[in-house]
Amino acid sequence: MEKLNPEKLHVEFRPGVTPTEPIIPRRYTLTHSDVSAELFLTVGPEYAYDKITKMRDEVLAEWRTVNGQYYLNVYCYVDGGEFSPSVSAIRNSVFVKELPLAMEAIRYGDRAFFITHPILGYSPIFINFSSTNPYLNRVEYWGRMNDYK
């Protein structure tokens, strides 16, 4: 796993959220540049659809609750049937490889939020891999936000 270089992380807070509030709705859109290896984290009440490219290699995440317990729900678009099975498998592998870095970028980029709401560091992370292939279409538990400090 590659470690986060904070100098290559750019964070934008959209209207409707501050570095510390609200918890819900709070959504993350994480994109990157293959050329510069920079990461771009947008935090807002909605996803930053304007930052999503046709490559669909972004990571989306949002805070949710179940029975009063917070969790981070993360979405990775593996495929919608437009790729061959081998390309979908490669996309899946890239997501799995890069997700620890993505979680670290969210945790670091929104660090004032986690300082203000320390209990959220103990919140579980569930990754939703979206694919038309039943083997690749799944939800996985990926630890807690504090695992990615």
pLDDT score of 149 = 87
Alpha carbon distance 60, 130 (integer Å)? 12
- Would you place residue 111 in the very low, low, confident or very high pLDDT band (cuts 50, 70, 90)? very high
Alpha carbon distance 102, 20 (integer Å)? 20
| pTM value surpassing 0.85 | yes
Find out whether 128 and 139 touch, Cβ atoms under 8 Å: yes
Question: Assign residue 68 a region: left if phi > 0, alpha if psi is -120 to 50, beta otherwise?
Answer: left
pLDDT score of 3 = 86
- Would you place residue 54 in the very low, low, confident or very high pLDDT band (cuts 50, 70, 90)? confident
pLDDT single digits (tens) 58-84: 999 999 999 999 999 999 999 999 999
DSSP letters, the chain, are -PPP-GGGEEEEEPTT--SS--SSS-EEEEEE-TTT--EEEEEESS--GGG--TT---EEEEEEEETTEEEEEEEEE--SS-S-HHHHHHHHHHHHHHHHHHHHHHHHHTHHHHHHSGGGGG-EEEEEEE-SSTTT-EEEEEEEGGGG-
pLDDT single digits (tens) 132-145: 999 999 999 999 99
